[in-house]
Amino acid sequence: LNRRQIIKIGYFLAISHIYLSRLLIFGSIFFVHMLFYFGYSFELFDVTKLGSISDLLTFGFAFLSASLAFGLFLGSLFASREIATPVILFSSLPIVFSAGFVWPLEALPAWIHTLSLGIPVIPAIHGFLGLNQMGADFSMILHDYRLLWLQSIIYFILGTLIFNYKRIRYYR
């Protein structure tokens, strides 16, 4: 490796460290929220819990990872922070309808359902409903669990590449 290639590798590693630190900081904050939600608030409001807390937290960690990677990926797409809020706001209602509990999945076109599986909240809704409200065993929601981890990896890689591209373009 020559000096230029070493600098380029070091630069990419620095970018991935920035990206990983964002994931760690946001993940720590939202993990505390998840503990509050599945622990204290379920007890406080006497919500029926059919799933074990370890299954809920294991699945929740995968959802948290996928959501953070998806959020950082979306954030890397926008030129300014102000654009992200209206985009997320106007896309949230179609996402809720494509989840299958407001509008039946059978009534949705197959391509909408397939497209919606790329959003972390869709497999998370199915998994959490299965675990906590329907008493499903973890093996029954393993497909959703694996899908969330796949999304985590894909969105992390895509977000890192876009973040890297924008930083190189900005500092050029």
pLDDT of 49-98, one tens digit each? 788 888 888 999 999 999 999 988 988 888 777 887 888 888 888 888 88
35, 53 contact by CB (below 8 A): no
The structure tokens 């996928």 sit at 66
Burial class (CB in 10 A: 0-12, 13-18, 19+), 10: exposed
Write the Ramachandran bin of 114: left for phi over 0, alpha for psi from -120 to 50, otherwise beta. alpha
Give residue for tokens 């991935």: 16
Which residues does the chain have with pLDDT short of 50?
none
Cβ proximity of 99 and 121 under 8 Å: yes
By the 10 Å C-beta count (0-12 exposed, 13-18 middle, 19+ buried), 77 is classed as middle
What distance in Å separates the CA atoms of residue 115 and residue 38, rounded to the nearest whole number? 29
pTM of the predicted model, to two decimals?
Answer: 0.81
